[in-house]
Amino acid sequence: MKRFSIIHACFMIPALVLCSEPRCETGVESTLVADGCAGVELTLDAANRLAALPLKCMQREFPNKPGETLAAPDDIGSPRSLHPAFYGCFDWHSSVHGHWMLVKLLNTFPDLKDRDLIRGRISENLSAANILGEVAYFQRIEEKSFERTYGWAWLLKLAEEIHTFDDPLARELEGNLLPLAELIVRRYMEFLPKLLYPIRVGEHANTAFGLCFAWDYAVALGNTELKALVEKRARDYFLADRDCPLSWEPGGYDFLSPCLEEADIMRRILPREEFAEWLGNFLPSLADSGFALAPGEVLDRADGKLVHLDGLNFSRAWCLYGIASRLEEYGHLKAVADLHMRRSLDAIAAGTYEGEHWLASFAIHALSASRDRAKAID
């Protein structure tokens, strides 16, 4: 039998201190899966510290990784000229989910320290003119697949968060963002019927991840057509799947879990009992109260690909929290999710831009999933 001691877990790094309540500890962190361990928590202090990271890069044009397809010399432009709203934070999708994160924090914490600064930056970036500039880029003939479907998904997540934010600024931003959100919805409606086979990778193109946020948007905004299509394609792609090889994960560059992202979309679209049966066939090991899953390890956080594994730890966590919130008999997965959170929380502000420009968004989404699970239990 394992022996557990109680310690107080604090993460102290240059830009961030996150503490949890006393928790269980085995002495071997990768085996920390005991029930009853207190989890990490999204606090106002943590929100204030994390908000500094997207603020640091959302209007920083360089370094930048462009994603355009050039049809002629005139297509070359500076990041800001091509993407007047989402030119910062290294690449388009990271800029989008950095904006989502700040809106999420405004929506969650009315007393956020940099609230006025954040509101000003978001208002400036998401102006009507800037969003129309983004629409113009997407309408280029060569850019039908630009940010498909990862960036598409985050744009709809941003639109969803703005929609749920009860604030006059949000109503202005929602109107500004609407042309781009509607364009992305059309792209989903056009693309999904033609995608015969799901893309089961641990990076941007993962189909299950792209479906998750599209579903959330469709539910929040009452888009029944998009919702029906996402459900149909998720069933087409994944309903017959069995015995996902979780032991094959992670891949060296993964920031998404192919197995767990699939479970994340199926928990959304399937009725509870149908999901429970499906999950028992798809990932039978998760039902074991002693289920263990070692977090991904990063040996070089200055390497933009290797640092993906910190993101994997956060995305695994939000998937596991989601399963535990849907099926109470899987409550033991919360401790596994907490373990993944703790492993990478100290890397959010590790001092290298490769992780700083995007990891905070992943952490906030995972911490929010933990918070939502606690509300569901209450």
Task: Report the DSSP pairing between strands 16-19 and 5-7.
Answer: unpaired
pLDDT digits (tens, 9 = 90+) for 319-363: 999 999 999 999 999 999 999 999 999 888 777 999 999 999 999
Comparing C-alpha atoms, which of 306, 317, 315, 316 is closest to residue 350?
A: 306
Whether residue 13 is predicted with pLDDT greater than 70 in this model: the reply is no
**334, two tokens:** 């919360």
In contact, 14 and 52? CB cutoff 8 Å: no
The secondary structure element, H or E, covering residue 24 is strand 23-25
State the Cα–Cα distance between residues 6 and 23, nearest whole angstrom.
Answer: 6
Which range, of 15-29, 110-124, 155-169, 196-210, averages the lowest pLDDT? 15-29
Q: Which of 32-36, 150-154, 350-354, 364-368 has the lowest mean pLDDT?
A: 32-36
Instruction: Band the pLDDT of 34: cuts 50, 70, 90.
Output: very low
User: Which comes out higher in pLDDT, residue 135 or 10?
Assistant: 135
- The arithmetic mean of pLDDT across residues 186-200, rounded, is 98
pLDDT, average across residues 97-115: 98
From the list 188, 193, 226, 194, the residue with the least C-alpha distance to 210 is 188
Query: In this model, does residue 166 exceed pLDDT 50?
Result: yes
350 against 157, higher pLDDT: 157
Cα–Cα nearest to 338, from 50, 20, 40: 40
Three-class secondary structure of residue 45 per DSSP? helix
Asked if residue 48 has pLDDT above 60, the reply is yes
Q: What is the mean pLDDT of the chain?
A: 90
Q: What is the mean pLDDT of residues 99-112?
A: 98
**Calpha distance 369→372 (Å, rounded):** 5
Question: What are the angstrom distances between the C-alpha of 195 and each of 189, 206, 210, 256?
Answer: 11, 12, 12, 20
Domain positions in the chain are: 5-377
pLDDT at 136 over 70: yes
Q: Is 174 exposed, middle or buried (0-12, 13-18, 19+ CB in 10 A)?
A: middle
Confidence of residue 149 (pLDDT cuts 50, 70, 90): very high
How far is the C-alpha of 21 from the C-alpha of 287, rounded, in Å? 26
Q: Cβ(198)–Cβ(172) under 8 Å?
A: no
The residue written with tokens 């091509």 in the block is 82
Q: How far apart are CA 194 and CA 225, in angstroms?
A: 16
Cα(first)–Cα(last) distance of the chain, in Å?
A: 31
pLDDT score at 16: 41
